[in-house]
Structure 1
Amino acid sequence: MATLIADTASVDPRAVLGDGVEIGPYCVIGPQVEIGPGTRLIAHVCVPGPAVLGARNVVHPFSVLGGDPQDISYRGEPTRLVIGDDNVIREHVTINRGTAKDQGLTAIGHRNLLMAGVHVAHDCQLGDDIVLANGTLLGGHVHIEDQVGLSGGVAVHHYVTIGRLAFIGGHSRIIHDVPPYMLVDGNPSRVRCINIVGLRRHGLAESTIDALHEAHRLIFRGKMTIDQAAAVLESQVQPDRPIPDEVTRLLEFLRRQQSGRHGRGRELARGAGASSTSGPSLGGSTPLAAGKPTTVSPATSSSAPANGKAQSDEPDQAASASVPVVSVEARGEEPTA
């Protein structure tokens, strides 16, 4: 398929564009940018880079992908953004590159939906099949595992990890890690129940859902320690009903959270120079994704304008020095994304 570039777009001749890429009117593409086959930039999209966009992504107008990190310590170090395949990025989304004090990488996986007005800060790492609703704000170094849903207006603190198949209600303030399979809501946010609608929607067995409900009851309602809850769950094991992997994952996640600070397991990585948790697997291999120099090929149009350096930083919030035992509500049938 032919690559289509609008006459009013500005594409640096060193950018690498795959087959069937569409660059719409008034888009600006920088020199260290790779765009995979079939990706569409509809109009007024800015990708200063360094950045890699995979295949079949759709980016809507007035989004900026791969701009400088909004971190006051940033001094122009070479960092990058890597986005996987089949993502939909709606209007006015901003995704910043990483910083040298982490891995120098912001990473987005596959098949994610970022609705209008979403901000993904420096060094965030997102997995696959995630929905970030309108106005969601992610602070720096946030990690989100697969199949997570965030409602509109959610604000997430630096270094928070959100576990697989969690769901967060609208306008929640997230300052602690969010355990997998749980529904969290409020300001301050609390674990309300298991994300039962999301678990069923993604095909988890009813026996697994029941086991997660029991783990939730013991830990969040019964206020047991992780080890106490694990002992009770192990005592209930039968030959034909072992502890599901999902329950084991939940317990391991909570142990990591308690080993950190302020309710965030990865908070200990702050200032360590690199995150202790690897990011989502994006699949494939590209020169920028592998950290190698880009092999450039000529494209059309003129060079993109130089980037301006951001001069702001996100202030840390005060939080408890210990991991709280959060209160909960009864198990519910609340909707999820």
Structure 2
Amino acid sequence: MSVHESAEIHQMAVVEGGAVIGPNCKIGAFCVVGPEVTLGEGVELKSHVVVEGWTEIGDGTIIFPFASIGHIPQDLKFGGERTKLEIGKRNRIREHVTMNPGTEGGGGLTKVGDDGLYMMGVHIGHDCIVGNNVVLANNASLGGHCIIEDFVVMGALSGVHQFCRIGRGAMIGGLAAVVADVIPYGTVMGDRATLEGLNLVGLKRRGSEKNEINGLRAAFKLLFTGTGSLRERAGTMQMEYASNALVQDVTDFILEDSSRHITTPKGS
């Protein structure tokens, strides 16, 4: 066990041999930290937090009571192999959140980026790759093998089917059940999510240029109307809007190989 001299560990916490506790960490009462856990500088476990498995948590992340981090995947194929959970810096992980490590069949890694907010009851399943500045509201859930890109916001009680991709800056409405890929900057809603438009509020908040947003709006209309397949239209938009980074994000996403269809507007 390696515990930095500046770390504060409550006398009622359990830190098992082999754990690495970085500078200025705070571990509250009734927390349990397993033998393969590494906590970066300034990590805080409030109380009643359990961190197990091969888990690394980045600097400045705060985890609130009753979170369960790093326990084995909820996958019947899991056979006890050594797999990893990697959590980035400055995350806020609220009460009752669960995050599972990867599986051998999925690459062996679940990875959560920096500066995220994971509200009460959020679940991040095995082999998910979650980007930076992601917000998952209360009880939002990710099935295994999902890819969640930067700046995604998911509303309360929403869920993403395994192997789905959610593109950069997308907004998932509360209670939505996402069973297909969602384009970057899209907004989806419904018990089986349909594409309702673009996440213009998110784009404006992050300072996107007005001309880029207007170009994206025009391209969006053309992508989901007209002749030919969606992939063909995406190829055309990619050439016509070669200088618009937002449109390029969307068309690149559509043209990538995926095991899931693209979420589309109702009736398209």
Structure 1 length normalisation: TM-score? Answer: 0.74
User: Which of the numbers 229, 233, 239 marks the counterpart of 1:228?
Assistant: 233
Cα distance in 1, alignment partners of residues 237 and 99 from structure 2: 44
User: Which of the numbers 54, 58, 68 marks the counterpart of 1:54?
Assistant: 58
Q: Deviations over 1:73-97 (max 9, x none)?
A: 0010001111111000000000011
Call closer, same or farther: CA 1:44–1:132 in 2, change over 3 Å: same
Aligned to 1:103: 107
2:120 matches 1:122: no
2:186 matches 1:186: no
Query: C-alpha displacement at 1:217, in angstroms?
Result: 0.4
Q: Deviations over 1:172-207 (max 9, x none)?
A: 000001100111111211111111110000111011
Tell me the secondary structure at the aligned position of residue 182 of structure 2. coil
Call closer, same or farther: CA 1:253–1:117 in 2, change over 3 Å: same
Tell me the secondary structure at the aligned position of residue 67 of structure 1. coil
Aligned to 2:82: 78
Verify the 8 A CA contact 2:161 2:178 in the aligned structure 1.
yes
Cα distance in 2, alignment partners of residues 86 and 324 from structure 1: 31
Cα distance in 2, alignment partners of residues 200 and 38 from structure 1: 32
* Count of matched residue positions in the alignment of Structure 1 and Structure 2: 263
Cα distance in 2, alignment partners of residues 192 and 159 from structure 1: 22
Aligned to 1:7: 11
Aligned to 2:248: 248
Q: Which stretches in structure 2 are left out of the alignment for 5+ residues?
A: none
Verify the 8 A CA contact 2:238 2:251 in the aligned structure 1.
no
Aligned to 2:72: 68
The aligned runs of 1:285-300 (5 Å cut-off) are none
Q: How big is the alpha-carbon RMSD for the aligned residues of Structure 1 and Structure 2?
A: 1.8
The aligned runs of 1:132-211 (5 Å cut-off) are 132-211=136-215
Q: Deviations over 1:252-292 (max 9, x none)?
A: 21122xx43441xxxxxxxxxxxxxxxxxxxxxxxxxxxxx
Aligned to 1:260: 258
Aligned to 1:18: 22
- The answer to which structure, 1 or 2, has the higher relative contact order (CA under 8 A, 6+ apart) is 1
Q: Which stretches in structure 1 are left out of the alignment for 5+ residues?
A: 264-322, 330-337
Query: C-alpha displacement at 1:328, in angstroms?
Result: 7.1
Call closer, same or farther: CA 1:44–1:223 in 2, change over 3 Å: farther
More strand, by proportion: 2
Tell me the secondary structure at the aligned position of residue 180 of structure 1. coil
Cα distance in 2, alignment partners of residues 74 and 245 from structure 1: 40
Verify the 8 A CA contact 1:221 1:327 in the aligned structure 2.
no
Call closer, same or farther: CA 1:202–1:27 in 2, change over 3 Å: same
Tell me the secondary structure at the aligned position of residue 111 of structure 1. coil
Cα distance in 2, alignment partners of residues 75 and 63 from structure 1: 24
Query: C-alpha displacement at 1:104, in angstroms?
Result: 0.5
Tell me the secondary structure at the aligned position of residue 197 of structure 1. helix
Cα distance in 1, alignment partners of residues 59 and 87 from structure 2: 9
Tell me the secondary structure at the aligned position of residue 255 of structure 2. helix
Q: Which amino acid in the other structure matches residue 166 of structure 1?
A: A
Query: C-alpha displacement at 1:230, in angstroms?
Result: 4.1
Aligned to 1:275: none
Query: C-alpha displacement at 1:109, in angstroms?
Result: 0.6
Verify the 8 A CA contact 1:191 1:328 in the aligned structure 2.
no
Call closer, same or farther: CA 1:324–1:180 in 2, change over 3 Å: closer
Verify the 8 A CA contact 1:193 1:328 in the aligned structure 2.
no
Cα distance in 1, alignment partners of residues 263 and 156 from structure 2: 25
Query: C-alpha displacement at 1:49, in angstroms?
Result: 1.6
Verify the 8 A CA contact 1:220 1:327 in the aligned structure 2.
no
Cα distance in 2, alignment partners of residues 94 and 219 from structure 1: 37
Query: C-alpha displacement at 1:22, in angstroms?
Result: 0.5
Cα distance in 2, alignment partners of residues 96 and 173 from structure 1: 21
Aligned to 1:300: none
